[in-house]
A and B are shown apart, each in its own frame.
Chain A
Amino acid sequence: EAGVAQSPRYKIIEKRQSVAFWCNPISGHATLYWYQQILGQGPKLLIQFQNNGVVDDSQLPKDRFSAERLKGVDSTLKIQPAKLEDSAVYLCASSLLQSFGSGANVLTFGAGSRLTVL
């Protein structure tokens, strides 16, 4: 089974520039997550999709961050304009279902996209 694919793996930009990250989840996984992991910290959820609908984006800085999952498969996370504090690894994860109390909601993570903002 192919894993969660993310690109690019690394990106260096200057502040106020824009950047986009792409994620392709495991085939058949309805739920997709974007997490931000700052160095030395645990991942923080930015946005969660169920198919192509947003389930939770309460921690997404909507003035500069946007995400979409138009056809319920691939997803793109965009930052515009970037700030120094956006330097982090952006992790994409997917799970089969959103149902609770089930092993089917085990998350599978991609390798992440490391962003450095100068």
Chain B
Amino acid sequence: KQEVTQIPAALSVPEGENLVLNCSFTDSAIYNLQWFRQDPGKGLTSLLLIQSSQREQTSGRLNASLDKSSGRSTLYIAASQPGDSATYLCAVREPGNMLTFGGGTRLMVKP
């Protein structure tokens, strides 16, 4: 059974710092990996999707990497801003179309 783990569970940084969020998964037989952002009381917003054949995806200040063989992905946020404060979730899509989520990392960026 696929297990997705996100470390750290919570992170607090001062504004302007570059930071890395980690996601690991136990079964490397995945089709893709997706990073989401969730604001309090809101649904999930898709940030980046990396296909299993890709190594990374970039969108603005966000860069996500994927190392399928080692079961790891990272989300890099450059020059963090208070508006980046949210919970960040990674999810892997497996054969059978199951999408399995990690527990999330709660990020707080202090002004």
Q: Which residues of A contact B (CB under 8 A)?
A: 4, 33, 40-45, 48, 55-56, 91, 93, 98, 100-101, 103, 105-112, 114
Assess whether B103 is in contact with A100, with CB atoms less than 8 Å apart.
no
Which of B41, B42, B52, B102 contacts A42 (CB under 8 A)? B102
Assess whether A41 is in contact with B99, with CB atoms less than 8 Å apart.
no
User: A40: nearest residue on chain B (CB-CB)?
Assistant: B103
Query: Which of B36, B49, B96, B97 has the largest number of chain A CB atoms within 10 A?
Result: B97
Assess whether A111 is in contact with B98, with CB atoms less than 8 Å apart.
no
Assess whether B44 is in contact with A45, with CB atoms less than 8 Å apart.
no
Question: Does any Cβ of A come within 8 Å of B21's Cβ?
Answer: no
Near A by CB (< 8 A), chain B positions 54-111 give 89, 91, 93, 96-104
Assess whether A44 is in contact with B49, with CB atoms less than 8 Å apart.
no
Assess whether A101 is in contact with B51, with CB atoms less than 8 Å apart.
yes
Chain B residues lying within 8 Å of A111, measured Cβ to Cβ, are 41-43
Task: Give chain A nearest CB distance to B73 CB in angstroms.
Answer: 14
Assess whether A43 is in contact with B97, with CB atoms less than 8 Å apart.
no
Assess whether A91 is in contact with B93, with CB atoms less than 8 Å apart.
no
Which 5 A-B pairs give the minimum distances between C-beta atoms? Answer: A42-B101, A109-B43, A109-B44, A100-B31, A111-B43
Task: Give chain A nearest CB distance to B86 CB in angstroms.
Answer: 14
A48 to B93, CA, bound (A): 13
User: A55: nearest residue on chain B (CB-CB)?
Assistant: B97
Assess whether B43 is in contact with A112, with CB atoms less than 8 Å apart.
yes
User: B46: nearest residue on chain A (CB-CB)?
Assistant: A106
User: B52: nearest residue on chain A (CB-CB)?
Assistant: A101
Chain B residues lying within 8 Å of A93, measured Cβ to Cβ, are 43-44
Assess whether B46 is in contact with A108, with CB atoms less than 8 Å apart.
yes
A71 to B53, CA, bound (A): 36
